[in-house]
Amino acid sequence: MRSPRENPPATTVLDQRCSGILLHPTSLAGPHGAGDLGPAAHRFAEFLASAGQSFWQMLPVGPIGAGNSPYSSPSSYAGSPWLVSLEELAREGLLTRQELAPPASLARARRALFDEAREFRGARLWRAFERFESKPKLSGELAEFREKNAAWLPDYALFCALFDAHGGRAWVEWDEGLRRRRAAALRKARAELARQVLFHEFVQFAFDRQWQALRRRCRSLGLRLLGDVPMFVAPDAIEAWQSPQIFQLDRSGRPRAVAGVPPDDFNPNGQHWGNPLYRWDVLARTRYEFWVERLGAALTRFDAVRLDHFIGFHRYWRVPAGSRDAHGGRFVQVDGDRVLRKLRAALGGLPFVAEDLGMVTEEVRALRDRFGLPGMRVLQFGFNPGAGEHLPHRYRSRLFACTGTHDTDTLVGWFSGLRERDRKRVLDYLGSRRKDLSWAAMRVILMSVANLAVFPLQDVLGLGREARMNRPGTAAGNWEWRAPAGVFTKELAENLAELCLTYDRDPRRASPAAATRAPP
C-alpha cells in the first residue's frame, strides 16, 4: 500500500480557493408547486456569479423516492421528472400558456407541495409528449438521445412503465417473469407498454435538454456544479431489478441484510436505513463496473461530486433482514483502496468530496487522504465535545467547510437550542453578536485555509429552524423548504462578493491583499 506521499493527489476543480452555496432546485421559486430547471434556476445561477461564488451545490437530482427524499431515488441515472420546467416546454411549443396556469394552492405555495405538483405536472408532461410526437425534428433528437443513453434509458423507461402498470407496487411484487427479467416477459411488456415507455424516454430527454442548457449557462458565468451521490440504492431501485447478483438479495429479490448505522449515544437503537447491501466480492470481479458507470454518469452532469457516507467505502454496518432496528448488526470491511484505484483509473481522476461525518475511524481518514479527497468540516459540530477539528482554526487546505448540511438544523436554529453558556462560547469564538451570527460564521470559514467553503442558503439568509431542509429519522415534512420571494437582491450579492474578494475566494477577481503580494 502506498503512502500519501508516494501517491500524490491529482489536481481537481476542488483544489482552488473558492466558495459556493447549497440550494436544491426544488427550493427555488416557481408557480408549479416546487422549483425546477426553468427560469428561476437560470436567475439563481446569475445571482451566484454576481455574488462571487464558484460552486452551486445540489442534492441528488434523480427521481425522488419514499418521503420525497432525493436520497432514495429509484434510479442512479435518470433525472427527476418533477424538475422538468413546464415553462421551458411551453417555450418550445409543447404546452400552451393556458395549460401553465396553476391552481391557487400551487401558485401560493411557500413550501414544496410534492403530491399536488406531481399530479399537475404529470398531466402536462403527457400533453407535452402528445404534441412532441408530431414534431419530427424533436423526435429525431430523441432518437439520438436514446442511442447515446442506450446503456440505461430503455430499461429505465420500461421499469417506469411497469411500475405504473402495477399501480406503484415495487418490482419484487411483480409476476415472476417480470421480476426475474425473463426475456419473453420483457418483450411482451415492451410491446404492450410501448407508448408508455416512449413517454418516459421523452421525459428524460426533456430533463437532459433543460439540464444541459442550465449547465451551459453556469459555465458561461464561471460557475461549477457540485452534485451528490448516495452510497446505497433505494430498496425498490431499478439497479436491484437489473443486477440482483451485485446485491445481497434472496431469490425473490428481497434483501438478506440491509444498511444502517450502529447504536451510539445519540441513537440508542442505531439507524435502520433498509437499503440493500452490495456484494463487494461480485463487484470486484466486474472491476467495479457498477461504480464506474454510476459515478461517470454523475460527472456528465456535475463538475464534482460529494460521496455521501464515504465511510461505506471502508466498512458498512450489516443489519439482518427483518430486524426492527440496527441492534444485532456488525461491521463488514470493504477494500476501499482497490475501489478508488479503479475509479481513478477509469474516470481519469477523483473530483470527489468525501462525506466523512459520523463514526469516522483513523482507517477511513487514511483512505480519504491516500487518494487526496477533501473531507468535510461542519462548524456546528466544532462545539461538540471532542470535535474540535470542525473549528476553522484547525482546518487544512484540502477541505470542504460549511456552516451546516442538508441534515443539520440551520445555524440560527442550532444556536437557539444551545444552553446560554454554550451560546456565549460560540459568540466569543466568532467574535460576533447574535444578530450577525450567520455572517460571522461564514466569515471565519471564508478566512480559513480550507479550499472550498459552501453555505446552505438558509444560513446566508440567517433563517431559523423553520427553514430546515431535513430531519434525519423522520418520515414527513422534509425536503419542502423553498427560498422566500425576493431574497436574491443586488445588496446580498454585493455583500457576498465583497467577502469572497476579501478572502481570495473569487478566482475571477484578485483581492486587494492578493494584489499587494503580486510582484511588480
Domain ranges of the chain: 243-353
* Residue 327, pLDDT score: 87
Question: With contact defined as beta carbons under 8 Å apart, do 70 and 112 qualify?
Answer: no
Nearby residues of 387 by Cβ (< 8 Å), 6 or more positions away:
381
Catalytic residue numbers read 308, 355, 407
With a cut of 50, which residues of the chain have pLDDT below it? Answer: 1-10, 515-520
Q: What is the 3-state secondary structure (H, E, C) of 310-361?
A: HHHHCEEEEEECCCCCCCCCEEEECCHHHHHHHHHHHHCCCCEEECCCCCCC
In angstroms, rounded to a whole number, what is the distance separating the alpha carbons of residues 243 and 203? 24
* Residue 265, pLDDT score: 63
Q: DSSP code of 483?
A: P
Output b/e per residue, 48-64; b: 16+ Cβ within 10 A.
bbbbbbbbbbbbbbbbb
Task: Tally the C-alpha atoms within 13 A of residue 204's C-alpha that lie toward its C-beta.
Answer: 30
User: 66 vs 72, 152, 436, CA distance in Å?
Assistant: 6, 22, 37
In angstroms, rounded to a whole number, what is the distance separating the alpha carbons of residues 263 and 369? 27
* pLDDT tens column, 154-206: 999 999 999 999 999 999 999 999 999 999 999 999 999 999 999 999 999 99
* Residue 513, pLDDT score: 55
Q: DSSP code of 81?
A: G
* pLDDT tens column, 196-241: 999 999 999 999 999 999 999 999 999 999 999 999 999 899 999 9
* Residue 299, pLDDT score: 97
* Residue 518, pLDDT score: 41
User: 236 vs 159, 166, 276, 298, CA distance in Å?
Assistant: 11, 13, 9, 20
Helix (H, G, I), strand (E, B) or coil at 487: coil
In angstroms, rounded to a whole number, what is the distance separating the alpha carbons of residues 114 and 106? 10
* Residue 511, pLDDT score: 59
